[in-house]
């Protein structure tokens, strides 16, 4: 192998190693945050979980928040897909809406420990709070693929401003109720909550045919 090929091979190996270390750190952060929350663990805890040095951690992330935001983004992308998994036909069928909401809540329950870590992040990290505010816009974008009623853009008419406000509040309501249920703050039982959210969704769709 000539020198040029050797250099290229070494460069490719180094890049692959960096990518692998980054993946390991994000996976380790997930395990640590799900096990211990966000506030208690340190950078050293995450590095140790990943089997790398503190120095290696800082080659990839400038602190605990940075790797936590990567973890959050992975979770967010998975959640976005589920928000978009309701068709226009399902949206006008209460049984279809109920099934979609149930599937989403099942996913939230599976990620209960991750959500608890995110709640801790929200209490102390302004950067994370801003990212959370973007969730509604992102989930509305997913819904809009099949249900244009959820479009974020407005045409300026009174009716469309009302449609937009109702859409935002509906998405926020679903998020708030799911989050409250996950951390055991919800007043309603699971089925009662899902039934109520189904009615709210169906009323919204029926109001803006």
pLDDT digits (tens, 9 = 90+) for 102-139: 999 999 999 999 999 999 998 899 888 888 888 899 99
Query: CA torsion angle for 103, 107, 110, 114 (degrees, to 10)?
Result: -160
The predicted pLDDT at position 188 comes to 94
Assess whether 41 and 84 both reside in one domain: no
Structural domain of 163: 65-207
pLDDT band at 162 (very low <50, low <70, confident <90, very high): very high
Tokens, residue 80: 């976005």
Same domain, 47 and 137: no
The percent of residues in the chain predicted with pLDDT above 70, rounded, is: 93
Residues 202 and 102 in one domain: yes
The residue among 31, 46, 62 that closes a domain is 62
46 and 100: one domain? Answer: no
What confidence tier does 185 reach under pLDDT thresholds 50, 70, 90?
A: confident
Rounded Cα distance, 42 and 28, in Å: 12
What is the number of structural domains in the chain? 2
1-51 pLDDT per residue, tens: 566 555 444 555 457 678 899 999 999 999 999 999 999 999 999 999 999
Q: Indicate the residue among 32, 62, 92 that finishes a domain.
A: 62
162 is written with which tokens? Answer: 């009302």
CATH number at residue 178: 1.10.357
Same domain (yes/no): 124, 194 = yes
If asked whether residues 92 and 103 sit together in one domain, one would say yes
Residues 163 and 107 occupy one common structural domain: yes
Final residue before a domain boundary, out of 62, 79, 99: 62
Write down the pTM of the prediction: 0.84
Cα four-point dihedral sign 82, 85, 88, 92: negative
Instruction: Answer yes or no: do 25 and 88 share one domain.
Output: no
């Amino acid at each position: 192998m000539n020198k040029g090929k050797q250099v290229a091979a070494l460069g490719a190996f180094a890049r692959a190693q960096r990518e692998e270390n980054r993946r390991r750190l994000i996976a380790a952060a997930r395990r640590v945050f799900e096990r211990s929350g966000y506030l208690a663990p340190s950078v050293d805890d995450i590095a140790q979980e990943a089997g790398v040095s503190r120095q290696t951690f800082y080659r990839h992330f400038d602190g605990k928040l940075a790797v936590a935001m990567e973890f959050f983004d992975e979770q967010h992308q998975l959640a976005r897909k589920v928000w978009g998994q309701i068709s226009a036909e399902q949206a006008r069928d209460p049984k279809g809406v109920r099934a979609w909401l149930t599937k989403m809540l099942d996913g939230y329950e599976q990620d209960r420990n991750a959500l608890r870590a995110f709640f801790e992040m929200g209490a102390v990290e302004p950067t994370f709070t801003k990212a959370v505010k973007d969730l509604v816009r992102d989930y509305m974008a997913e819904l809009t693929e099949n249900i244009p009623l959820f479009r974020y853009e407005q045409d300026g008419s009174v009716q469309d401003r009302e449609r937009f406000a109702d859409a935002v509040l509906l998405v926020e309501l679903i998020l708030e109720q799911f989050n409250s249920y996950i951390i055991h703050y919800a007043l309603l039982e699971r089925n009662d909550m899902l039934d109520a959210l189904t009615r709210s969704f169906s009323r919204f769709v029926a109001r803006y045919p």
